Amino acid sequence: MTKDYGIKVVATGKLITSDEPREYIINSEFGSVKIIQEPPNQAYQVVTVGDSATVTVTIPHKLGFIPLCMVFTELKSGTGRWYNGIPLEGFEDQTTTIYMSDAYADKDNLYLTYVNTGSSVDVKYYYYILGDAGS
Amino acid sequence: MADYGLKVSSGVNVLQAQEKDIFFASNRNLLKTHRVGLSTAAQSFAHGLSYIPIFFTSVQSTDNTGTIIGNDRNTSCDIDNFNIGATTKYYLFYQAGS
């Protein structure tokens, strides 16, 4: 049975009867991803990765399933260059000694691991945990 | 410029809210889900769109963990097909990714 209820908002200049999904701002027929968790106060977080240290940041999400997660990192403080995903060794430049070695989620937490082969560095990160099961 | 539409915020006056505090605004496009699934084996399938869509994936491991979005080297998409690795949760959206 065709749904004859729901919410539709069409983009300016497009018809509300359109069959083209891209012409809608929102259409409850298609659903969307939902952001369940961001850092406190929607502010980037900072972790200090000491001299020749490896630090794993653990972010509890309490969802009970493996969620889809999106992570952004500024490896070199103050550069304004943020990487999406896992910025591996050499991403920033060949002289930067900080990188991310792993990032994954389980049903309880999101884990981000940073490795520093040089002197102490402050790393900024931001994350989005989506309210959709990754399994 | 249109001065009408729908906005939703939480905890702050929607007329004074910053962009980050607005949950929904009818002048801001949302990702619209085309297809969701869990692939248990490497496969390719026709996504049925005439463009390369935005997609999210999370590779699931036997130790009950999943990779973050953007860390999947086994999945790709072209204008016709979505090519995905084993044990991967995927989301395809109607918006074009290229």
pLDDT category at A134 given cuts 50, 70, 90 is: low
Residues of chain B with Cβ-Cβ distance to A106 below 8 Å are 64-66
pLDDT confidence of residue A94: 65
> With pLDDT > 90 as the criterion, what percentage of chain B qualifies?
59
> Above 0.85 for ipTM, yes or no?
no
- Please count the other Cβ atoms lying within 10 Å of the Cβ belonging to residue A123: 23
pLDDT at residue A59 tops 90: yes
DSSP 8-state assignment for residue A1:
-
Residue A127 CA to residue A130 CA, distance in Å, equals 10
Among chain A residues, CA nearest to B28: A25
CB A39 within 8 A of CB A57: no
| Average pLDDT over every residue of A24-45 | 90
Cβ contacts of B26 on chain A, cutoff 8 Å:
9, 25-26
- Chain A closest-CA separation from residue B28 CA (Å): 7
Among partner residues A21, A69, A103, which is closest to B32 by beta-carbon distance? A21
Higher pLDDT, B82 or A12: B82
User: Which residues in chain B (26-85) have CB-CB distances under 8 A to chain A?
Assistant: 26-34, 36, 38, 56, 58, 60-61, 64-71
CA distance, residue A33 to nearest chain B CA (Å): 7
- Note the pLDDT tens digit of each residue in B25-46: 888 888 999 999 999 999 999 9
Answer for the pair A82, A73: CB distance below 8 angstroms, yes or no. yes
Identify the CA nearest to B48 among candidates B97, B98, B93. B93
% of chain A residues with pLDDT over 70: 94
Cα separation, A45 vs A32, in Å, equals: 27
Which residue in chain A is spatially nearest to B35 when comparing CA positions? Answer: A30
Out of B20, B56, B96, the one facing A68 most closely (by C-beta) is B56
